[in-house]
Amino acid sequence: MCVSRLAQPLMLLLVLAALAGCASTPPPSRPRGPDPYFMTMYGPQPNEAFPLPATDISKVDPRFLRQQVPYVTHEPAGTIVIDTPNRYLYLVQGGGMALRYGIGVGKAGLEFAGEARIGRKAQWPRWIPTSDMVAREPERYGPLASGLDPGLTNPLGPRALYLYQGGKDTLFRIHGTTEAWSIGNAVSSGCIRMFNPDVIDLYNRVPEGTRVVVIQEEPPMSAAMPPIEAPIEAPAEDTPLAF
């Protein structure tokens, strides 16, 4: 039986439509959320003196999350290197590797630079703004001049590492933060802030006396570092703390 020339195009269209119906349609792509590994790392910590909720990392650039990375440096293992321009804190591990943490740093003109030692470590420290902070922003810091007790609203967070030079407190610290969004930015009054789980992790890894190198533009001269044997003057209970 012959098929008319007019019917041939119609049959071809029907065959193509049938074939298209057999093809599978790919499922719609789903937006990727935070890696479960990091979700666990930054999850709640109920065993703290003040139980910490999970840190919201949903909008955090993954490069600022804690991770082991290759790192070439002349500094020995155990040294903390703070790369201010790139917003990283490295704990040198040796073998060309380091543990890298994202940080928030001081605003222009308020940065700390040079070398120091961790002269004191504190869990859930009390915080008092410095007189300079109160003078600079009286509306913000004036009502807090008497200080804040430890807790979830304390600007220093769950841990603080106090930087000393020549045995004296510099009033600069490495500490936690109530503002997780600030990691990766220059917003603090000069101190180095970290995600709360990260500062707890760092606190547990380094002892008092650990050498800290803070880089702004050019690496500081090692010769400027006072000897570790220099006596460290312990601050009073309510020594003003920069953050």
Q: Are strands 168-175 and 97-102 parallel, antiparallel or unpaired?
A: unpaired
pLDDT at 31 over 60: no
**Mean pLDDT, residues 191-213 taken together:** 97
Instruction: Please indicate, yes or no, if residue 8 is contained in any of the structural domains.
Output: no
* C-alpha angle 56-200-130 in degrees, rounded to nearest 5: 90
Calpha distance 195→184 (Å, rounded): 10
Calpha distance 195→174 (Å, rounded): 11
Calpha distance 187→177 (Å, rounded): 12
In the chain, DSSP finds a helix count (H) and a strand count (E) of: 5, 11
Instruction: Please indicate, yes or no, if residue 47 is contained in any of the structural domains.
Output: no
Write out pLDDT tens, residues 40-90: 999 999 999 999 999 999 888 999 999 999 999 999 999 999 999 999 999
Instruction: Please indicate, yes or no, if residue 238 is contained in any of the structural domains.
Output: no
Instruction: Please indicate, yes or no, if residue 240 is contained in any of the structural domains.
Output: no
Write out pLDDT tens, residues 37-50: 999 999 999 999 99
Per the structure, the count of domains in the chain is 1
Instruction: Please indicate, yes or no, if residue 9 is contained in any of the structural domains.
Output: no
**CATH number, domain with residue 97:** 2.40.440.10
Q: Which two tokens stand for residue 154?
A: 């304390």
**Phi, psi values for residue 172, rounded to 5°:** -105, 145
Highest-scoring range by mean pLDDT, 105-114, 127-136, 156-165, 180-189: 156-165
Range of the domain at 146: 62-224
Continuous segment of H or E residues that includes residue 51: none
Instruction: Please indicate, yes or no, if residue 203 is contained in any of the structural domains.
Output: yes
Contacts of 233 (CB under 8 A, 6+ apart): 167, 168, 169
Q: Which residues are catalytic?
A: 175, 191
